[in-house]
Structure 1
Amino acid sequence: MERVVGGGALPFILTGVGVLLLYRIFVRLRQGASVQGAVVVITGASSGLGKECARVFHAAGARLVLCGRDAARLQQVVQELAARPTGSQQQMFTPSTVVFDLAKADMVDRAAEEILKCYGQVDVLINNAGISYRGNILDTHISVQRDVMETNYFGPIALTQALLPSMVQRRSGHIVVISSIQGKIAIPYRSAYAASKHAIQAYFDCLRAEVECFRIPVTVVSPGYIQTNLSLNAVTADGSTYGVMDKSTATGWDPRDVAHAVLKAVRRRSKDVVLAGPLPSVAIYLRTLWPALFFKIMASRARKERKPKTE
């Protein structure tokens, strides 16, 4: 009887091993999808995560269009990339630059035309530019809330909608947006920022469903804190600059790791990527599965802070 059972089980074991091997091969093939020669547009490319994405995608052989408000800083990134050894035999391309302010709606359509003139198409659009906020809602003027929304929400969707028709016409392209863990959970004294990221999540979730028929993937990347100047440059209740490096930001993700995660998401055509530690990940599920407890925790946090916290 033992021989019969063993003999009967062996084919199932071998089949399972075979399926596992095939799955691993499939995953590796997806991971290895090349961006060599692809036209990749990156907003907010002069510093922080945008600059790291420029480095990673340039090293992967992409044709870059770097966007930002400061022409000199963008050109400095171009020079740094040109001088950077890649250690690869693949062809490298000198990045192009397009200077514009994403928060100014009247500049976006013109910028989209300039972007398309660089290479005639856009294969990957990475909406990265953004601004953070620290403030008490009671003290925050509505104009500050609007300014954050202009940069974090209206700017990215305006650029996306300006470039989308060319992707639809070609039935090819990939849209990526760098959101935040705060696009999934709301934290006290981050109202404008969290609201803008919640709006981004909803908009691009809708877009993903609507453009699937055109074979255009949409990826939302939601990191936790990243070691950038985001908190230093954040606006406060009166519109002034926060100017403080939060502890959570200083000890956050290395932007190089996040940039590599973005590249991997593009290669895999991932839909929704969360880059966060255990506590934020648990908080996301808690907000959905046990909202009453989540709200109590956030209320307790708000009582402890009373004002924007230097985390």
Structure 2
Amino acid sequence: MALPFVVMLPLLIVVAAGVYYIYNEAMRFMSKSLVRNKVVVITDAVSGVGTECARLFHKGGARLILCGTNWDQLESLHDSLTVDADPRETFAPKLVILDFSDMDSMEDVVAEVLECYGCVDVLICNSSMKLKAPVQSVSLEMDRNIMDVNYFGPSALAKGVLPTMISRRSGHILLVNSIQGRLAVPFRSSYAASKHAAQAFFDCLRAEVEEYRIVVSTISHTFINACDPPAVKEPSPKPNALAAFIASQLTHGVRPSVLADEIMHTVNRKRKEVLLAHPIPRVALYLRSFCPPFLFAVLAAGVEDSVLSEQM
């Protein structure tokens, strides 16, 4: 006797959930083995996302080259990774001082990175400099600093390691970007401009190096939230309702561990573009393409009430 549909449906849901769980666990296990012995460069390795990435790739047996601006912090990260590690399964990370705000040093940095192992299999450009301010209050010097860190630095480093990747016809370059590389919001003019520039550069690079079997990936995320979600506050008098709702959808951001997991999956699956965002920012991206006047009106309302600008 056939089971009624009302009984079969929950069973199918449970089976599908079980298959999905097993698939994710299998991919998680495979992800660690796929990076074994790979030379992986991580910029701004001492940041929240960089540290989580370093832990994941180190456990997976990658040959890490950790870059940052502070030697003491790099050494502390090195010690935390190696203190309980099995030297038969993992490699001690190599450390390189890298400061994108000093573009004159980039040639020496590239040479030092390549001297570590002679090649780079995976380059993860994770560095970022943020700024929140009205356009009229941002100096040209600050604009240039942000462009150096967010655009010129990653692009220069990618250009530096590219010849070895081309000669080996293998490699993966990954840019940890921001959703503001595709969607600009008020009071982030310099930051959004640098992220737009980086997005465009790596999109062009992807097409140019595909013939050499080099993968170029971009991960666009909302803001990084390393803290617990903030407590709910009483709304200010007469806020713009739509702007307040959008802001409430953005308060949780993306946690560093979640972003690091996605970076690992992106490297292993060779995905070219990833968007890590809640539904509201995704909808905003579609509005930017298909109904920009409505989005512009919402953003302007958010500026007036100082709600949207505080949360993004």
Scaled to the shorter chain, the TM-score interval is 0.7 to 0.9
Equivalence for 2:280? 279
Could you tell me whether the CA contact under 8 Å between 2:302 and 2:309 is conserved in 1?
Answer: no
Q: Is the 8 A contact 1:135 1:307 kept in 2?
A: no
The number of residues matched between the two structures is: 270
CA offset digits 1:65-90 (Å, max 9, x no partner): 0001111100100000012458xx97
In the alignment, the residues of structure 1 paired with residue 92 and residue 163 of structure 2 have an alpha-carbon distance, to the nearest angstrom, of 26
> What residue number does 1:302 align with?
303
Q: Secondary structure at 1:177's aligned position in 2? A: strand
Whole-Å separation in 2 of the counterparts to 1:85 and 1:170: 31
State the distance in 1 between where 2:296 and 2:66 align. 40
- Picking from 138, 141, 150, the partner of 1:152 is 150
Cα gap change, 1:184 to 1:103, in 2 (>3 Å): same
In the alignment, the residues of structure 2 paired with residue 286 and residue 31 of structure 1 have an alpha-carbon distance, to the nearest angstrom, of 38
Match of 1:126 in 2: 124
Unaligned runs of 5+ in 1: 1-20, 230-245
Provide the rounded CA distance (Å) in 1 between the counterparts of 2:99 and 2:226.
Answer: 20
In structure 2, what is the equivalent of residue 267 of structure 1? 268
Which residue identity lines up with residue 293 of structure 1 in the other structure?
F
By how many angstroms is 1:32 displaced?
2.9
2:201 corresponds to which residue?
A: 203
Q: Which residue of 2 aligns with 1:217?
A: 215
The residue number in structure 1 matching 2:97 is 99
- What's the counterpart of residue 257 of structure 2? 256
The equivalences for 1:103-182 within 5 A come to: 103-182=101-180
Give yes or no for contact 1:70–1:99 (8 Å, CA) kept in 2.
yes
Change (3 A) 1:292 1:250: closer
Does the CA contact (< 8 Å) of 2:303 and 2:309 recur in 1? no
User: Aligned in 2, Cα 1:184/1:90: closer, same or farther, shift over 3 Å?
Assistant: farther
Residue 293 (structure 1) aligned with residue 294 (structure 2): yes
Contact 2:37 2:63 in 1 (8 A): yes
Of all paired residues, the percent bearing the same amino acid is 41
Q: Tell me by how many angstroms 1:295 deviates.
A: 1.1
Q: 1:262/1:84 Cα in 2 relative to 1: closer, same or farther (>3 Å)?
A: farther
Q: How does 1:224-235 map to 2 (within 5 A)?
A: 224-228=222-226
- TM-score between both structures, scaled by the size of structure 1: 0.80
Structure 2: which 5+ runs fail to align? Answer: 1-18, 228-246
**Cα 1:82/1:30, change in 2 over 3 Å:** closer
Corresponding letter in the other structure for 1:290: C
Contact 2:250 2:278 in 1 (8 A): no
Check 1:205–1:307 CA distance in 2 against 1; reply closer, same or farther (3 A cut).
closer
Residue 77 of structure 1 is matched in structure 2 by 77
2-structure distance, mates of 1:297, 1:285: 14
Runs of 4+ in 1 over 6 A off after TM superposition: 28-31, 246-250
| Cα distance per residue 1:243-269 (max 9 Å; x no partner) | xxx999873222011101100000000
